[in-house]
Structure 1
């Protein structure tokens, strides 16, 4: 790796950490698109998992008391069940089709929610549906570090408030991504070079997470929702852009 590649590595870590501190998710959504310019997926995906766990862990102490665990636990149970499924799919999934499908979904769904200003409180399925969404998030998290989008959109449909949504995003992502990281390490999918890259990325991840958390506390419930939907839309643009080769 040359100097420019290391600069992109640090920039991706800073951007991913900032968004994670701000929204409770987003390390993969922001950093992966940057890191894939200089790293192969076999290195970029586990690096995203490591930095996601670091960013989530760094911001947990300032958020812990506002979390409602009665809402969170079904997502965690479903997510943990999905982790081994996603890991098994790594060897079989077509990365281009996968990225394009997720990208198109993230272009359409957040846009619809953004322009629909009618308050929602979707109750269908209860905790069973919450666990099902968590399972799908666990599969995506283990497959590509993208555990957040589905639970995030689901929480928006449920009509939960800022702290309730943040609790789901952060605890769910932290649990699922940590499980995915441990599972991949145990199965030998993480190369030694990833550890070296993670050590370089750590300072940017932690600094970015700290700055993002400060901004989170200043946001209103409405502004937080708009930030979340905007980040999801931008991640969709990035995935579609990279998949279609429009760069």
Structure 2
């Protein structure tokens, strides 16, 4: 399978998963895109793909968004992101691949375990989650696990989680992508990938009432673990 086909399939699958379960875009895209494009462009492209998806989901769940928590998560993440991005841009590809693969496998383990704690639900927990999310986002495009654990610990419902995290991801991306630099890919690659992502969004909407979010979640975690393991093996 060619590089463009791998990128397009990863983008489409990530968008479908994000639409169906509220997670999966970064987890599915980053490990496979890192193998095809290198770690830095994988993160950049995933951030770019995320903008329309996150905004659409946020608009759909606008009334459920926890704006106070958005602020407590976003402010430290936005402050911390340029610092981490500056370091990441000077790191060679192999260590970044190892970091991306390791973060992916770690993120899958955290999400699969269902870890929660009431101690993480306050403002201190939000600040810590925002900082950790920003670091993992700049290194591996994985901003979700840390804030997902925070949301679960705070007792958010499904709509609150999707709306709140989507607007957080959107706002964080506005800072992270300029900090990491623009996607260094030709239009001959970007346009087909954008088309695949659009197809994934349409498919995700069509399947949203037919496929259970739980089954999608576990499929995403399994595929992401495999992708992270492949990335680690490739970089070793």
- Flag whether TM exceeds 0.5 (same fold): yes
Match of 1:129 among 114, 119, 125: 125
Q: Is the 8 A contact 2:61 2:160 kept in 1?
A: no
Give distance in 2, aligned partners of 1:215 and 1:73.
Answer: 32
Shift of the 125–10 alpha-carbon distance from structure 1 to 2, 3 Å rule, reads closer
Give distance in 2, aligned partners of 1:238 and 1:10.
Answer: 15
Could you say which residue in structure 1 is the equivalent of 2:7? Answer: 9
How far is the alpha carbon of 1:153 from its aligned partner?
2.3
Q: TM-score, normalised by structure 2?
A: 0.81
Could you say which residue in structure 2 is the equivalent of 1:156? Answer: 152
Could you say which residue in structure 1 is the equivalent of 2:137? Answer: 141
Q: TM-score, normalised by structure 1?
A: 0.78
Shift of the 125–165 alpha-carbon distance from structure 1 to 2, 3 Å rule, reads closer
Where in structure 1 do 4 or more consecutive aligned residues deviate above 4 Å?
213-219, 223-230
1:236 and 2:232 aligned: no
Could you say which residue in structure 1 is the equivalent of 2:109? Answer: 108
Alpha-carbon RMSD: 3.0
Matches within 5 A, 1:161-200: 161-185=157-181, 190-191=183-184, 193=185, 196-200=188-192
How far is the alpha carbon of 1:56 from its aligned partner?
1.7
Could you say which residue in structure 2 is the equivalent of 1:69? Answer: 67
Count matched residues. 232
3-state SS in 2 of match to 1:204: helix
* More displaced 10-residue stretch of structure 1: 79-88 or 38-47: 38-47
How far is the alpha carbon of 1:183 from its aligned partner?
2.4
Shift of the 86–206 alpha-carbon distance from structure 1 to 2, 3 Å rule, reads farther
Give distance in 1, aligned partners of 2:209 and 2:123.
Answer: 28
| 1:174-221 deviation digits (Å, cap 9, x = unpaired) | 111221112233xxx542x255532221122123124334555677xx
Q: Which segments of 5 or more consecutive residues in structure 1 lack a partner in the other structure?
A: none
3-state SS in 2 of match to 1:36: helix
Matches within 5 A, 1:29-108: 29-90=27-88, 91-92=90-91, 94-108=95-109
Q: Is the 8 A contact 1:86 1:141 kept in 2?
A: no
Give distance in 2, aligned partners of 1:225 and 1:121.
Answer: 21
Could you say which residue in structure 2 is the equivalent of 1:208? Answer: 200
Q: Is the 8 A contact 2:133 2:145 kept in 1?
A: yes
